[in-house]
Amino acid sequence: MMRYFQPTVYIVASQRNGTLYVGVTSNLPQRAFQHREGAADGFSKRHGCKLLVWYEIHETMESAILREKQIKGGSRAKKLALIEALNPQWLDFYEEVCT
């Protein structure tokens, strides 16, 4: 399991090649659970983004936020390339980060 405070940028998806949501958190297990359960109203809940398909750990929250902005500012093709490079099968990493 990841440690409690671990700045992380992540992408959740509704399905393979589906709707994508890019976010940043200091507690990925908790945030992944919130997405999975639809606990927070907003874009990811409206679009069914529940699958944790990509994440990147950072040393500081500042670097994680900068990376999140960079990814959000990029094209959909670049986001898909990030996912495909780490996770070509589009597996849900929820169990990996939460156990």
Domain containing 55 — which CATH number?
A: 3.40.1440.10
Residue 1 lies in a domain: no
Structural domain including 78 reads 8-98
Amino acid symbol at 58: H
Q: Residue 60: how many CB atoms within 10 A of its CB? A: 9
pLDDT tens digits, residue range 4-32? Answer: 689 999 999 999 999 999 999 999 999 99
Q: What is the pLDDT of residue 98?
A: 83
Model pTM? 0.93
Residue 74 lies in a domain: yes
Residue 75 lies in a domain: yes
Number of domains in the chain: 1
Residue 85 lies in a domain: yes
